[in-house]
A and B are shown apart, each in its own frame.
Chain A
Amino acid sequence: MSHATQRAPLPFWRGMFYLLLATGLVLTVIRFTQGLGSVTNLSDRYPWGLWVGFDLLCGVGLAAGGFVITAVVYIFHIERLRPIVRPAIVTAFLGYLLVCVALLFDIGRPWNIWHPLILHNPHSVMFEVAWCVMLYSTVLALEFSGMVFEKVKWKRAAKVQKFLSVPLVIAGVILSTLHQSSLGTLYLVMPGKLHELWYTPMLPLLFFVSAVSIGLAMVIVESKLSARSLGHGLELPILRTVGRALAGVLGLYGFLRVYDLVDRGMLGEAFSFSYESSLFLVEFFLGVVLPVVLLSVRRIRMSERGLYGTSLLAVLGFITHRLNVSLTGFEQAQGGHYIPAWPEVLITLMFIALGFAAFRWIALHFPVYPETQEPTEEPVHHVPATPTTSVRAPWERTHIDLPNRFSRVD
């Protein structure tokens, strides 16, 4: 890979960014002065819309790469994937920050957003999600702080941060397991409302497994996007490893989904070609079956373009599932349709644009990719083989790159 080239963003995207930011700011003023009704198509019949269905449910899922990749490298010791750890942490941190900002827009009384700290209802899934998201955002901030300390050469803080890395990763895995699945649990309280193709007691498990798969898919998608915007891509062998893991997890998700439909006797309903059935078939065949089939083709699995294309399909399928659970799955019971108003869409696009811009800025100014390190520094992506300090956490081990079952190259 080449050294960092501080490329200017493509003029078109820069223009789009400022346009979205400008319209988004105007709409923000309207939303906070005129109420939710002024910028959304939310109603008493559809009290949750795009900002819950996409910004929260998809946003948290798409940021799952953070806990998946840190677990793979720090817990499973798969050192080959270490170059992905930092981009994944940055993506997850920004993702969760944006989810929190989006929630400030969506909830009606955002000045009370801190209330779960003092008002406790352990019977509420939302209460649990609120706590997990708060705690996990803190974990991500601490994980990200390592890059900041390194940038400002605050060596002692960097040392402490590194000392805490394994406990932080374990905390992150626990918190993510809980709230990724809880986003599915949110809907378990609505058996009469959510269509039976999506309402299943397995929703928590399905949400968790799909979050893991999409965390992996996003690593591949982001690599492609960073390569275009920043000149940093990931090496093809790493992407292939991620692609193989994606095929496995997505296959497991597909199996669980079919098993659940058969178990509940819903297979006939799934192929009835009704409105709901069509949505399900698109979601499942384009977003799950097709990517798994494509990844089983060697030529596709081995090429960067093939991996990117299949990952994009999987991401779109994932978004479709979450939107079906949160929006379209309610149409039969609630009557009518919910279609987001254009300001809702524009504000969401503003968040996405902010996410891209923030990622780009961080990648250019912090040691996210190996190339951006200053040459004098010791390599940060590998724990030194012999610890140079007397402070050595029990979880700091000697790392030696060794071939293992995950590092096989086809």
Chain B
Amino acid sequence: METGKQHAILFDLTRCSGCGECVAACMKKQGFEGDYEQVTDMSATSYTYVREVLAPDDEEFYCRNLCRHCVDPTCASVCPVTAIVKTAEGPVVYDADKCMGCRYCMTACPFNVPRYEWDSANPQVRKCDMCHDLLAKGEATACSEECPNEATVCGPRDELIADARQRFEEEPESYHPHIYGEHEIGGTNVMFISPFPAEQLLGFVDKLGNEPLPQNTWRVLSKIPTIAVFAGATMGALWWLTGRRDEVRAHEAARKARRKNGKPQHNGQSQSEEV
């Protein structure tokens, strides 16, 4: 499925009242116990949270955080055993049966999203799966379904981007006209719009740029066959050359010794000899 048609989520800071219904809905859908009002971070038992943020003019807003379901996800690219994959429909999902627990996905995620069951002897990586089971049935994600203000909405990525642009046009005074996640690190399927510039707030630090992070490692990994062949050929050549050098020297030494003991040659010059 092309990126534009994939399932995506758009979160609008100007519409969020901070009620936490999305957190409650998420926990209910995932079967997590606990009080949604106490959730202040993503954890193995809560995949999203809402926090108060201040605009540069000190006005209060609320902002969600959750897995961004990147278009080219770093976590999926680093997973050695394909336990995390980007589905064709958009969600980035995890399969515990494949996972060996190296936690490279957690170290690599630029948004620090994946969480771990540190106190389990049979631990899993935990993160938002975009309710991919509900999406497959044609329903909305739990968080967007329960949001009373349509601050969180889900739909095809292209349509959400068009929707965001329309909001910029209709209420230019309410928005900083930038869709966070449209292009950053190659694009994400969870996007944000905000009344003020919010790169730092959302973890889109400047140095990440618009190029997907997996390209940093692929540039090197793709050279491996070349490096292997080159290293092998070099080693083979050096082995032959140095061995041959020693053989020639040994013969030279033997020849000289023979000459010394036997009859002296006319000019005494040493010549290379076939070995």
- B118 to chain A minimum Cβ distance, whole angstroms, is 3
Chain A residue nearest to B249 (CB atoms) is A402
For A126, give its contact among B80, B214, B239 (CB under 8 Å): B80
| B119 in contact with A34 (CB, 8 Å) | yes
Residues in B with CB closer than 8 Å to A404 are 245-246
| A127 in contact with B81 (CB, 8 Å) | yes
Q: How far is the CA of A33 from the CA of B120 in the complex (A)?
A: 8
B268: interface (CB < 8 Å): no
- A5 to chain B minimum Cβ distance, whole angstroms, is 35
For B231, give its contact among A35, A173, A399 (CB under 8 Å): A173
| A109 in contact with B99 (CB, 8 Å) | yes
A47-B103, A110-B101, A125-B78 are known contacts. Are A170 and B217 too (CB-CB below 8 A)? no
Interface string of A124-141 (1 = CB under 8 A from B): 111111100000000000
Interface string of B233-260 (1 = CB under 8 A from A): 0011011001101110110010000000
B40: interface (CB < 8 Å): no
| B238 in contact with A191 (CB, 8 Å) | no
Interface string of B81-117 (1 = CB under 8 A from A): 1110000000000001011111110111010101111
Interface string of A152-171 (1 = CB under 8 A from B): 00000000000000100110
Residues in A with CB closer than 8 Å to B228 are 174, 177-178
Chain B residue nearest to A126 (CB atoms) is B80
| B100 in contact with A76 (CB, 8 Å) | no
A265: interface (CB < 8 Å): no
Chain B residue nearest to A127 (CB atoms) is B80
Residues in B with CB closer than 8 Å to A193 are 107, 110
| A116 in contact with B107 (CB, 8 Å) | no
A395: interface (CB < 8 Å): yes
For B235, give its contact among A71, A108, A120, A122 (CB under 8 Å): A71
A190: interface (CB < 8 Å): yes
Q: Number of A interface residues, CB 8 Å?
A: 66
B207: interface (CB < 8 Å): yes
A10: interface (CB < 8 Å): no
| A191 in contact with B208 (CB, 8 Å) | yes
- B249 to chain A minimum Cβ distance, whole angstroms, is 5
Interface residues of A in 200-254 (CB under 8 A from B): 201, 204
A267: interface (CB < 8 Å): no
| A174 in contact with B101 (CB, 8 Å) | no
Interface residues of A in 66-94 (CB under 8 A from B): 71, 74-77
Residues in A with CB closer than 8 Å to B245 are 77, 404
Residues in A with CB closer than 8 Å to B106 are 44, 47
Residues in B with CB closer than 8 Å to A44 are 42-43, 106, 112, 114-116, 118
Residues in B with CB closer than 8 Å to A7 are none
A297: interface (CB < 8 Å): no
Residues in B with CB closer than 8 Å to A37 are 118-119
| B232 in contact with A397 (CB, 8 Å) | no
Residues in A with CB closer than 8 Å to B96 are 109
Q: How far is the CA of A109 from the CA of B117 in the complex (A)?
A: 11
Interface string of A367-392 (1 = CB under 8 A from B): 00000000000000000000000000
Chain A residue nearest to B43 (CB atoms) is A44
| A189 in contact with B78 (CB, 8 Å) | yes
B121: interface (CB < 8 Å): yes
Q: How far is the CA of A404 from the CA of B245 in the complex (A)?
A: 10
Q: How far is the CA of A170 from the CA of B232 in the complex (A)?
A: 6
B32: interface (CB < 8 Å): no
B221: interface (CB < 8 Å): yes
Q: How far is the CA of A192 from the CA of B235 in the complex (A)?
A: 37
Most buried by B among A33, A126, A182, A189: A189
Residues in B with CB closer than 8 Å to A186 are 104, 217
B191: interface (CB < 8 Å): no
Interface string of B41-85 (1 = CB under 8 A from A): 011000000000000000000000000000000100111111100
Residues in A with CB closer than 8 Å to B19 are none
Residues in B with CB closer than 8 Å to A170 are 232, 235-236, 239
- B101 to chain A minimum Cβ distance, whole angstroms, is 3
Q: How far is the CA of A181 from the CA of B231 in the complex (A)?
A: 13
A320: interface (CB < 8 Å): no
- Given known contacts A126-B102, A192-B208, what 14 new A-B pairs fall within 8 Å (CB)? A48-B107, A76-B239, A107-B100, A109-B123, A113-B100, A124-B80, A126-B78, A127-B81, A178-B224, A191-B216, A397-B243, A397-B246, A398-B247, A402-B253
Pairs A-B, 5 closest by C-beta atoms: A108-B101, A37-B118, A127-B80, A47-B106, A112-B100
7 A-B contact pairs sorted by A residue (CB < 8 Å): A33-B121, A108-B117, A124-B80, A129-B80, A185-B220, A188-B216, A188-B220
Q: Which residues of A contact B (CB under 8 A)?
A: 32-38, 42-45, 47-48, 71, 74-77, 106-110, 112-113, 115-116, 119-130, 166, 169-170, 173-174, 177-178, 181-182, 185-186, 188-193, 201, 204, 334, 395, 397-400, 402, 404
